[in-house]
Chains A and B, each alone.
Chain A
Amino acid sequence: MTAVLLEVNGVTLQYKTPRHLVTATYRVGFTVYQGDRYVILGPSGCGKSTLLKAVGGFMPPVEGSIRIRGREVDAPGPDRMMVFQEFEQLMPWKTVFQNVLFPMKVTKKFLPEQAKARATAVIEKVKLTEFQDVYPHMLSGGMKMRVAIARAMALEPDILLMDEPFAALDALTRRAMQQELLSLWDQLRFTVLFVTHSIEEAIIVGSRILVLSPHPGRVRAELDAGNIDYTNIDKPEFGAMSKRIHKLLFGNETDHAEANEVNQGARA
């Protein structure tokens, strides 16, 4: 269970806007082990989403290397399934069932009968069985997100890449989704790389937290949060962890420490 899955070494990422060459991250390095719930946390504009896209293979690093199971990442692939923040990641022309089935069909990773059985099983896991023949536009935001997670998990990727998947949800749904993700992880023990700008979410969801500095993103710390989740959200260790991260991100200006979310709203 302690195998190294993903190695990111000294990765610098740059992208061009029509007017500027933006450096998103500078020499970022970290290692994700099998079964980790690895969270990348940082304020808006620290390049964490860009970093996730690079791991997804959508963007080559200017410097450094990204390896998954020792193999260099050079293109998008179904071994790294992405779950996005936006709801429009589902294909509106396919039902929930067809959406979940689609990656398995395209990649031919499973036999047709096996793929169908897997789709049914994973839809049941995310509690959407009665909606499996419904088109995405009839689902709520939380349900769409569950379909996206189910679709990614059904393929059994090496790693699940989640780009602020719950950021567009309302607070109550978001909490429910965090718990659901954790209970799915308890059952299936997949590896997930999770990007967020919420300190609270990072502590609840993560077993390891990589703290990135703002613009350009550089590694500030890597913390262990495996023993803290939503069951001890009112315990002192939760508050202590939250304060520690806050300090790492903003130095000593902790006067407005009640602000739990780092730059809510705009996405990195």
Chain B
Amino acid sequence: MNEPQHRPEFESELVDSGVIGDVERPLSFVERVVNNEGVQRLAILVVLLVVWELYARWLDNSLLFPTFTETVQTFWHDIRSGVLIDRTITSLRTLALGYVIGLALAGLFTTFAVASGIGTRILSTLTAMFNPLPAIALLPLALIWFGLGTPSLVFVIVHSVLWAVALNTLIGFRSVPETLRMSGRNVGLTGARYVGLILIPAAFPSILAGLKIGWAFAWRTLVAAELVFGVSSRSGGIGWYIFEARNDLDTATVFSGLLTVILIGLFVESVIFRTIEARTVNLWGMQR
């Protein structure tokens, strides 16, 4: 009795689906605005600022915790007088130099590493050793080797960028699918052209992650290093700006320095890297 019930076959006309309206319907304006990532982030930011302002007013002690409006006033004043811009440019110049040197070295190291098995193992060992070592811990040594000044700062930035980027690039290269490698070699690509035309774009999501981590490491290392020994030759950086203000017990200026550090961080992360992502890995469907 376990045979299935015998039933007649049938064919039917399609049911009219017109009643549900369009198959595809655009979302309303409000729905789109609320779903927008930028709008959501902005809302979070506004809430944080309001909390800050209210707390500072309630505390009413500008030496310990200046209000948001006070910080913005100082910030604006220092921008107009040119001090803050000057300090920021000094920092960014050092940062760019260190970042570029770090990237170049990372490129060199990983090219060497993918070329041979022993190279891979050397790089893995080096990154395992140096990646956990905080760059700032190398500052005393850098001061002995390079003296007070930009070279020391560049040295610690290079250290903080190099290993993070090299590690991520190597992981990226290793995870390139075998089929993609073979189709590259199939058309006769070898050596530098193979790395440049196949490996680097195929590993780009990973490389980009490395660039982001490297940037964040470099930026915080730089600010911290400037706080430790402050001025390099005549012009100090943003860390020195904060350090000076603390010595003067000018907390609003300390806050405006921190605000600058945060704003630059936000700009690089959500404008520069976001744009690169949208034009590369997101467009290519390699990352959501």
Complex contact A91–B202 (CB within 8 A): yes
Residue numbers in A under 8 Å from B187 (CB-CB):
78, 81, 102-103, 106-107, 155
Least CB distance from B284 to A in Å reads 5
Q: Which of B163-215 contact A (CB under 8 A)?
A: 177, 179-180, 182-183, 185-189, 193, 197-198, 201-202, 204
- A82-B182 Cα distance, complex, nearest whole Å: 9
Complex contact A76–B185 (CB within 8 A): yes
Q: Which of B129-187 contact A (CB under 8 A)?
A: 177, 179-180, 182-183, 185-187
Residue numbers in B under 8 Å from A102 (CB-CB):
187
- For A, the interface residue count at a CB cutoff of 8 angstroms equals 24
In the complex, whether A56 has a CB less than 8 A from a CB of chain B is yes
Least CB distance from B164 to A in Å reads 23
Chain B, residue nearest A103 (CB): B187
Majority secondary structure, A binding face? mixed
Chain B, residue nearest A83 (CB): B183
Least CB distance from A152 to B in Å reads 9
Please tell me which stretch of A117-125, A130-138, A172-180, A249-257 contacts chain B, meaning at least 4 of its Cβ atoms lie within 8 angstroms of it: A130-138
In the complex, whether B276 has a CB less than 8 A from a CB of chain A is no
Known A56-B186, A106-B188: A93·B179 in contact at CB below 8 Å: no
- For B, the interface residue count at a CB cutoff of 8 angstroms equals 21
Residue numbers in B under 8 Å from A81 (CB-CB):
186-187
Least CB distance from A89 to B in Å reads 5
Known A76-B185, A82-B183: A137·B285 in contact at CB below 8 Å: yes
Q: Which of A25-65 contact B (CB under 8 A)?
A: 56, 58
- A91-B199 Cα distance, complex, nearest whole Å: 11
Complex contact B186–A92 (CB within 8 A): no
Known A58-B185, A78-B187, A103-B187: A89·B179 in contact at CB below 8 Å: yes
Residue numbers in A under 8 Å from B177 (CB-CB):
86, 88
CB < 8 Å: which of B180, B197, B201, B284 contacts A106?
Answer: B197
Q: Which of A89-142 contact B (CB under 8 A)?
A: 89, 91-93, 102-103, 106-107, 135-138
Complex contact B284–A84 (CB within 8 A): no
In the complex, whether B280 has a CB less than 8 A from a CB of chain A is yes
In the complex, whether B27 has a CB less than 8 A from a CB of chain A is no
- A91-B181 Cα distance, complex, nearest whole Å: 10
In the complex, whether A77 has a CB less than 8 A from a CB of chain B is yes
- A77-B187 Cα distance, complex, nearest whole Å: 6
Sample 27 A-B pairs with CB under 8 A, ordered by A number. Answer: A56-B186, A58-B182, A76-B182, A76-B185, A77-B188, A78-B188, A82-B186, A86-B177, A88-B179, A88-B180, A89-B179, A92-B285, A93-B201, A93-B280, A93-B286, A102-B187, A103-B187, A106-B187, A106-B188, A106-B197, A107-B187, A135-B283, A135-B284, A136-B285, A137-B286, A138-B285, A155-B187
10 smallest beta-carbon distances between A and B, as pairs: A137-B285, A103-B187, A86-B179, A93-B201, A92-B284, A76-B185, A89-B179, A93-B284, A88-B177, A89-B183
* Interface residues, chain B, with chain A CB atoms under 8 Å away: 177, 179-180, 182-183, 185-189, 193, 197-198, 201-202, 204, 280, 283-286
